[in-house]
A and B are shown apart, each in its own frame.
Chain A
Amino acid sequence: MNFSVVTSQFASLVLQGVALGLIYSLIALGYTMVYGVLRLINFANSEVFMVGTFTVLFIQVTVLGHAVTREPMHGWPLILALALSLIAAMGVCALLAMLVEVVAYRRLRAKGANRLASLISAIGVSIFLSESWRIFTDSRPHAGPRLLEKWSFGEFHGANFRIDTMMAIFASLIIYMVLLRFVNGSRLGKAIRAVSMSEENSLLMGINLNRVVTLTFAIGGLTTGAAAFFYITIYENTVFNVGFNLGIAAFTAAILGGIGNLRGAFFGGLALGLTEQFASAIIGSQWKAVTVFIVLVFVLLIKPSGIFGEAVQQTRT
């Protein structure tokens, strides 16, 4: 136990917690979008994230030929390179997520199968993806190139406002705002909300169910892909099972905020990121996960459906 760090590094812990938390939020949005519509935990989302991180590396190293050891880029080439890898990651993740839906869920959904069957099928996809990637990458961790020189905007009480952290924070906020507007404001967003309320009634209202579900998976893939990009820019390495811990953390975040709820995923991610940072500073990083789960248990005891959760009747299996 070391409480002195809380006062000495408060600002720094908050900043890192927010950055990590927003990455969790982006992945959690992937879980929560799918859950909101299908009431299913999309276990393959963590592997979608993993593929996203490798897509970023592929674009930066292979396509742009930027070796790990090379000097960072500057000016327009930098912005273009970053934009290209972000868009590629989001695109590949969206496509993969849609593919996962077709392979793992569509047939089962058509048969009206048990929820657990879909869960196992998704776990199958998850094992398949991470294991093929393990063979493909020879189990080695891959370092990401440093495209972006990590200069700092300045310091504030020990918090270092580095460009990559700030970029992740602002971009995640923008993505969240856009998504919120899309779901609450657009026609397709309305369709998504309708399906999440009642599949049967939305079918009667002439909504193309399969299209909405595919769209939901695609949106989940987009946010997860963005998370993968920011993860690489900040942490600069990845490995075939990177999705496992992040996936569990993001899923916990989604539950903490109240799954199926966009606001819940967002603030759940933030809360989780901050809790993790403070817990590892105070008790030590090996107890991080334990603290997170204990916090989760307490939150759920007080509010059984998460911070922004829906009524209990609707969350039933």
Chain B
Amino acid sequence: MINIRDKGAEIWENWNRPTRVIFVLSTITIIALLPFAAAWGPTSFLDTPITSFKNVLVYPVGMFVLMALGLNIVVGKSGLLDLGYVAFFAIGAYSQAILSTSFGWSTWEALPVGIGLAMVSGVLLGLPALRLRGDYLAIITLGFGEIVRIVILNSRKVTGGPDGIAGIKNPPAIFGLEFDLFHPEHFFWLVGVMVLLVIWMVRRFTVRRPGRAWEAIRQDEDVASLMGVNTLVYKLWSFVIGAAVGGAGGVLYASKVMVISPDMFKFEVSVLILACVVFGGIGNIWGVVLGASLLAYIPDRIRFISDARQVIFGLVLIIMMNLRPDGLLPRKKREKISEKRKK
């Protein structure tokens, strides 16, 4: 099996600095121009029926890339299976919704609060849950996701219950860019900037102490703790950082769609985000980005076969996982070898 990731890394290694800068800048430009791809002849095949392509790029594609990157810190970096990631997304979205409709806060003011609340709930969940291992952690996080949704559903006074919250304000303009219904591409750029920030953050973490600690924990928790890694603290950190990204995603999402309801934060979304991570290649940022973009985009592209699209989605998951169990772009060989040796 060809490891595209290693091939890519090899080509990258052989480039000198200017080439790399040009490559990165042109990639960013191409991605930034994506919202206009549907209107331009040669790339019009990308256009999505029913929902406009520009909106699809913001949600689900952009949002899913953002959240998959957040979940990748938890699942990919430190190897903790989180089946309730949507809870943090919901917490972010609802803090934005409540602050915006009841207190008139703008998105930029609500963003730190949403992130903070998601982090606090990450700590609250993580402290008891991270003492557990493997599938026990998975079920607790799954339960947490359901608890958050049920609490939202039943706290009618604060969250509007099943009706949700309407009338959430769009973010105020920055640099003259209006964020409203008519400019979904501005939202796309905003999400893109967030994604870049998260990628930058994750890459910083990976080469520094937390990244090494996560790597050690993922490979063998007992050995890591014997070598003096405070496993609980680092697991908690990865959890909380993942939660922060989810919370930020939620805040943006709520201010984009303007109406939110508990239906949007079901268990299926957690599963879908996890699928994005695994499908693309656990632990590898570019794999996760690619996987999330594809898995978020495909269902909207094939919406014309409305009924069968989820069936096809299921089939794609089965076939792809069987063909490439490590995902589209697997993580580095070095990391994989040590994983195999463990078995």
* Chains A and B form a bound pair: yes
Q: Which of B136, B142, B282, B340 meets A315, CB within 8 Å?
A: B136
* Chain B nearest Cβ from A306, distance in angstroms: 8
Q: Does A7 reach chain B (CB closer than 8 Å)?
A: no
Nearest to A123 among chain B residues (CB) is: B271
Nearest to B317 among chain A residues (CB) is: A124
Contact string, B141-155, partner A, CB cutoff 8 A, digits 1/0? Answer: 011101100110110
Q: Does B343 reach chain A (CB closer than 8 Å)?
A: yes
Please tell me if the beta carbons of A315 and B271 are within 8 angstroms of each other in the complex. no
Residues of B in contact (CB 8 Å), total: 49
Contacts of B147 in A (CB 8 A): 289-290, 293-294
Q: Which of A120, A129, A255, A290 meets B136, CB within 8 Å?
A: A255
Contacts of B151 in A (CB 8 A): 290
12 A-B Cβ contacts within 8 A? Answer: A117-B325, A118-B321, A124-B318, A125-B314, A132-B311, A252-B139, A255-B136, A255-B139, A304-B132, A304-B136, A317-B81, A317-B134
Please tell me if the beta carbons of A128 and B314 are within 8 angstroms of each other in the complex. yes
Docked complex Cα distance between A119 and B275 (Å): 9
Contacts of B318 in A (CB 8 A): 103-104, 121, 124-125, 128
Contacts of A134 in B (CB 8 A): 310
Most chain B Cβ neighbours within 10 Å, of A120, A121, A290: A120
Please tell me if the beta carbons of A316 and B133 are within 8 angstroms of each other in the complex. yes
* Chain B nearest Cβ from A313, distance in angstroms: 8
Q: Does A126 reach chain B (CB closer than 8 Å)?
A: yes
Docked complex Cα distance between A104 and B318 (Å): 6
Contact string, B71-84, partner A, CB cutoff 8 A, digits 1/0? Answer: 00001000101000
Q: Does A116 reach chain B (CB closer than 8 Å)?
A: yes
Contacts of B326 in A (CB 8 A): 113-114, 117
Q: Does B201 reach chain A (CB closer than 8 Å)?
A: no
Please tell me if the beta carbons of A297 and B311 are within 8 angstroms of each other in the complex. no
Q: Closest 3 CB pairs between A and B?
A: A124-B317, A128-B314, A113-B325
Please tell me if the beta carbons of A127 and B321 are within 8 angstroms of each other in the complex. no
Contacts of B333 in A (CB 8 A): none
Please tell me if the beta carbons of A297 and B274 are within 8 angstroms of each other in the complex. no
Q: Does A205 reach chain B (CB closer than 8 Å)?
A: no
Q: Which of A107, A116, A126, A290 meets B278, CB within 8 Å?
A: A116
Q: Does B131 reach chain A (CB closer than 8 Å)?
A: yes
Q: Does A305 reach chain B (CB closer than 8 Å)?
A: yes
Please tell me if the beta carbons of B136 and A123 are within 8 angstroms of each other in the complex. no
Contacts of B325 in A (CB 8 A): 108, 111, 113-114, 117
Which B residues form the contact surface with A (CB < 8 A)?
A: 75, 79, 81, 128-129, 131-136, 138-140, 142-144, 146-147, 150-151, 153-154, 221, 267, 271, 274-275, 278-279, 282, 307-308, 310-311, 313-318, 321-322, 325-327, 339-340, 343
Q: Does A230 reach chain B (CB closer than 8 Å)?
A: no
* Chain B nearest Cβ from A312, distance in angstroms: 7
* Chain B nearest Cβ from A301, distance in angstroms: 6
Please tell me if the beta carbons of B274 and A120 are within 8 angstroms of each other in the complex. yes
Q: Given A116-B81, A120-B275, A300-B140, does the pair A293, B146 have CB atoms closer than 8 Å?
A: yes
* Chain B nearest Cβ from A47, distance in angstroms: 10
Contacts of A244 in B (CB 8 A): 267
Nearest to B139 among chain A residues (CB) is: A255
Q: Given A304-B131, A317-B81, does the pair A287, B139 have CB atoms closer than 8 Å?
A: no
* Chain A nearest Cβ from B166, distance in angstroms: 22
Nearest to B145 among chain A residues (CB) is: A293
Docked complex Cα distance between A259 and B134 (Å): 11
Q: Does A135 reach chain B (CB closer than 8 Å)?
A: yes
Docked complex Cα distance between A114 and B192 (Å): 30
Please tell me if the beta carbons of B143 and A297 are within 8 angstroms of each other in the complex. yes
Among A119-146, those with CB < 8 Å from B are 119-121, 123-129, 131-132, 134-135
Other A-B contacts than A294-B147, A315-B133, 6 sampled, CB-CB below 8 A, are A104-B318, A117-B326, A304-B131, A304-B132, A317-B81, A317-B135
Contacts of B129 in A (CB 8 A): 297
Q: Which of A117, A287, A293 meets B143, CB within 8 Å?
A: A293
Please tell me if the beta carbons of A35 and B135 are within 8 angstroms of each other in the complex. yes
Contacts of A77 in B (CB 8 A): none
Please tell me if the beta carbons of B316 and A124 are within 8 angstroms of each other in the complex. yes
Nearest to B323 among chain A residues (CB) is: A107
Nearest to A109 among chain B residues (CB) is: B325
Please tell me if the beta carbons of A112 and B136 are within 8 angstroms of each other in the complex. no
* Chain B nearest Cβ from A271, distance in angstroms: 15
Q: Does A41 reach chain B (CB closer than 8 Å)?
A: yes
Please tell me if the beta carbons of A127 and B143 are within 8 angstroms of each other in the complex. no
Q: Given A120-B275, A128-B314, A287-B154, does the pair A108, B321 have CB atoms closer than 8 Å?
A: yes
* Chain B nearest Cβ from A38, distance in angstroms: 12
Contacts of A82 in B (CB 8 A): none
Among A83-117, those with CB < 8 Å from B are 103-104, 107-108, 111-114, 116-117
Contacts of A129 in B (CB 8 A): 314
Q: Given A114-B282, A127-B310, does the pair A255, B343 have CB atoms closer than 8 Å?
A: no
